[in-house]
Amino acid sequence: MDLGASSGRVITARFGDGLDLTEVRRFPNRPVRAGGTLYWDVLGLYGNVLDGLRDAGPVTSVGIDSWAVDYGLLDADGALLGNPVHYRDARTDGVMERVRADLGDAYLYGIGGLQFLPFNTVYQLAAARAGLARAERLLMIPDLLAYWLTGVQGAEPTNASTTGLFDVRRRDWSTELLGRLDLPARLFPPLREPGTTLGTLRPDVAAETGLPAATPVVAVASHDTASAVVAVPATGDDFAYISCGTWSLVGVELPGPILGDAGRAANFTNEAGVDGTIRYLRNVMGLWLLQECLRVWGSPDLPALLAAAADVPGLRSVVNPDAPEFLPPGDMPARVAAFCHRTGQPVPDSPAAVVRCVLDSLALGHRAALRAAVELSGKDVAVIHLVGGGSRNDLLCRLTADACGLPVVAGPVEATALGNLLVQARAHGLVGDLPAMRALVAATQPLRRHEPGGDDAAWAEAAARAGLE
Ligand code: LFR
């Protein structure tokens, strides 16, 4: 089960001579605004999880991953207290600034090594403090769904490391930070590493889905980005990755965290990966910009629009994709136009021109984050693996190769689901270590290589215009 911010999917894999994937179910993930608050429809998602299990039929095990940072609260009886709020909701406006001023960036970063994003769990909790009084447990979204399937409560490090309440060196909840923030320790359940069985199906779930009650639910790298990085089809160590979906997560894999001032100033994150690895990366706004444009335009034909965007002259107008005004849902074409107008650039005058501006700008965001990752980590990078839904977008992959001056290997599209499945397969002894998992992905999944071309000076000039360099 892989739940992304815009869609969810249930995929089964058969491990044998190769690796066969079957998409069993795909469904939209549509946030709902009610009473002024933006929520996830978590019961709708869970209903799709149950339907997906029924469609899948008997399986060796089940694993769940989703986007990070969001959570549900349970009372002492294990009942959900309120509907999980979407990280793009405005309740955190101004809260991060307050917490950072209180505790200090160096202190927060020294423990969590987490980039400062306004929606990190820690700031959501600071915004919703009054709601914590009756809460007994906080479960991250994949853990909440796993709890409903199994009756077992727990947390998993790859996702816990996105909360801002995790000690990335000790790989455990930071009791120190919980104390400083006056957050009750009881809320934070014991951690279970990816690859361990967390429970089996509740009898009512087994009855409803038709699966044996003994079906194990395995803890996977439950943060979708962590699973995606497991499935990067790298054949050596000299790679960077871009996990490109609603967000673009741009960075490198490291054996341990880097918690110094330079990384903090560059807002790089140290998120926990499988096998003790660190995802050293920065969030770039990602396909969200394009998705919101498409929504506002009433879902036009995307392939036709991308073909038209490819014919628009490049780098005419560019935006900083990470500007705060692009984070909340809304009229993205108007916001892009306003940015261009404000910075004295031509305002894109057609949907194709807006799409070209957005993709050029994302490529610039990829370039800035990639350069920072290389500089801060000192890692040799000879190739960029671009995985996830964005790997289908040839124009974006080509622009990224040009902007970064490195070859981009695009694919697999379903890297997150693959990483989820591979960690389960390893728990059953069907695959080996990370390099072996990646070699299996490289050998079995369709990939496309984009060589860099173009003119670095033109990209550097555009980056300056967008305020990125
Ligand atoms: C990607 C992702 C990112 C995280 C963002 C919010 O789907 O999980 O890694 O920063 O969503 O949770």
Distance CA(255)–CA(341), nearest Å, equals 44
Question: Which residues on adjacent β-strands are paired with residue 138?
Answer: 73
Q: Which of 224, 322, 360, 402 is catalytic?
A: 224
The per-residue pLDDT for 206 is: 98
Classify residue 255 by burial, with Cβ atoms within 10 Å: 0-12, 13-18, 19+: exposed
Give the length of the chain.
469
**Ligand 1 atom with minimal separation from the 117 CA:** 10
pTM over 0.95: yes
Q: Specify the pLDDT at position 18.
A: 86
Q: How many A from CA of 455 to the centre of ligand 1?
A: 32
* Residue bearing the CA closest to ligand 1, atom 8: 67
Q: Is 136 exposed, middle or buried (0-12, 13-18, 19+ CB in 10 A)?
A: middle
pLDDT score at 463: 98
pLDDT tens by residue, 338-348: 999 999 999 99
Confidence (pLDDT) at 317? 98
Is pLDDT above 80 for 469?
Answer: no
What confidence score (pLDDT) does residue 355 get?
98
d(CA 181, CA 80): 23
Identify which of 14, 116, 20 has the alpha carbon closest to the alpha carbon of residue 58: 14
In this predicted model, what pLDDT tens digit does every residue of 41-95 receive, in sequence order? 999 999 999 999 999 999 999 999 999 999 999 999 999 999 999 999 999 999 9
Reported as a single tens digit per residue, the pLDDT across 131-183 is 999 999 999 999 999 999 999 999 999 999 999 999 999 999 999 999 999 99
pLDDT recorded at residue 17? 82
Contacts of 448 (CB under 8 A, 6+ apart): 391, 394, 397, 409, 410, 411
Ligand 1 atom nearest to CA at 271: 9
Tell how far the Cα of 70 is from the centroid of ligand 1, in angstroms: 10
Residue 454 banded pLDDT, cuts 50, 70, 90: confident
Distance 210 CA to ligand 1 centre (A): 32
The CA 248 to ligand 1 mean position distance, Å, reads: 9
Instruction: Identify the residues whose C-beta falls under 6 Å from ligand 1.
Output: 4-5, 67-69, 87, 223-225, 245-247, 249, 283
pLDDT digit string (tens) for 98-139? 999 999 999 999 999 999 999 999 999 999 998 999 999 999
User: How much distance in Å is there from the Cα of 422 to the middle of ligand 1?
Assistant: 20
Q: Where are the alpha helices (DSSP H) in 57-128?
A: 95-103, 105-112, 121-127
Atom of ligand 1 nearest to the CA of 68: 12
The per-residue pLDDT for 110 is 98
Helix axes 288-296, 351-377, angle to 10 degrees: 170
Residue 420 banded pLDDT, cuts 50, 70, 90: very high
Site to probe by mutation for ligand 1, drawn from 9, 64, 67 as the one with most ligand atoms within 8 Å of Cβ, is: 67
Whether 224 sits among the annotated catalytic residues: the reply is yes
25 CB-near residues (< 8 Å, 6+ apart)? 9, 10, 48, 51, 52, 55, 56
Atom 7, ligand 1: residue with shortest CA distance: 67
Q: Which residue has the tokens 């509740």?
A: 202
Place of tokens 């009855």: 207
State how far the Cα of 284 lies from the Cα of 465, in Å rounded to an integer.
17
Task: Please name the residues in contact with 15: beta carbons below 8 A apart, sequence gap of 6 or more.
Answer: 425, 430, 431
d(CA 305, CA 148) in angstroms, rounded, equals 41
* Inter-residue contact 153 to 78 (CB < 8 Å): yes
Token pair in block for residue 447: 């990939």
Residue 202 has pLDDT above 80, yes or no: yes
Nearest residue (CA) to ligand 1, atom 12: 68
Q: Can you give the pLDDT at residue 16?
A: 85
pLDDT, tens digit, for every residue of 213-243? 999 999 999 999 999 999 999 999 999 999 9
From start to end of 29-74, where are the E strands? 32-34, 37-39, 65-66, 71-74
Q: Select from 431, 381, 386, 433 the least CA-distant residue to 276.
A: 433
Of 246, 279, 283, the one to substitute when testing ligand 1's pocket (max ligand atoms within 8 A of C-beta) is 283
